[in-house]
A and B are shown apart, each in its own frame.
Chain A
């Protein structure tokens, strides 16, 4: 009897393990195809030139600049609002209806489909606020979308600050605000940055929210102000793969752009992971 049960356990554990391996295999498969078919397209010229010959040749510099500026705009919107919201929720708020409502707002904002953010950005930022298709409108849309991630990460970081820090500061006569400004926030800073990088890496790869708010099919010039429209890496992949002038002939450009986007996003994730493990080591001492 016992033997039979242990056998069942072995079989089922093996299937669990297989499931876990399957995920890894799927990720490796995608990466394999992107790297093996994309790396040949990447060269110095590819990274530093504008697209040429109606986007069948040349590079992706405007897309890299566009995605970077959209990310910076996103950060400028989401970081201050996100950190302040987290400070309120973690340091000031007491459990009650108000906090329930705020949390409901954050949770539901996190669940809103990305294309709905795009619709909202189009109707509100582009049309009502008259920003048009621009870095400002796209960045604001992405910023609102990233907000829940940054609030979550900042709260986590604030929670990790030991209460003794706060009590020590209070004991020296500091007010709550002084404590937050001089003790809690500096201690939570690395955690907040880590979370923000993760949130930004998601924003960098999003396409649907910027399709009609920030990114355009093609623009030969680099952006001069935040009210300019830009090209963006993820949208460029979509455009080349579905609506380019010669879809088959630009395959290598598509793989190359996808690989650059993957490297950008993974690079940001890697930076965040390294930062996090460094932080953990520091806290242990």
Chain B
């Protein structure tokens, strides 16, 4: 079975790039806090969502809507009305994590497939059974924590198709279980759809070309002149345990699983997700092109070899210009 290539779009231009370069499905968010990339200037107003669905359907491709944040009791109307908007626009699936929203969707729009978001933190067949039995999900996106052999075993026993992250920025924490951003800023991926939001980021220029970056009051990192500086998410800062500051949690790198493609296909993974709704059309276009080519190559069954130009193109757009196999590779743990 061919694995579906699911690509991100935070804007109509990114959507066009993904469609032109061969995405099978594109996932989007509405322009409100109902999704985990609720960044200023990003995402789709309801009328743009309808246009996006039309554009994708005209090419025989699909649109999935991410509604994967967690509303508190007094916010539920916005999330539910967003589900209604998605249904009206004719999206092909809803990507959700929150139980009451899954429940709402199955009751009010049972015809729209429900995918469990990575934010649902489901890492075992038992957790997947829970969402399948309770809310009839048809697919689940696994958190970026399992090793490849664990992914293989989950695929064997899962009641639903499994989608995994193939490329992009690497959340090293179990998604849906990380409060590092809210600890410092009060704003979290779970509740606000943001991580280390830009309005809390302060750069300081120091003598000699050194730079410091803070999130709120907290010093996340300091860079030498000419050292490439990354976005200050808490998990990618340098801290001290002894004398020398080090990346205590993770280096600024991107996940890249190109070389695992044959094993992911063999495991029965049904879809590959490219991270990056916050990235521009150039990123979306070049990453989609590489993965389309790779998947088509795999499909021809003529022996799959990762081409150097693919890796070059991906490294060029990767965070920190470095890539890693991340949790799929046991040594990462």
Q: Do A and B come from one complex?
A: no
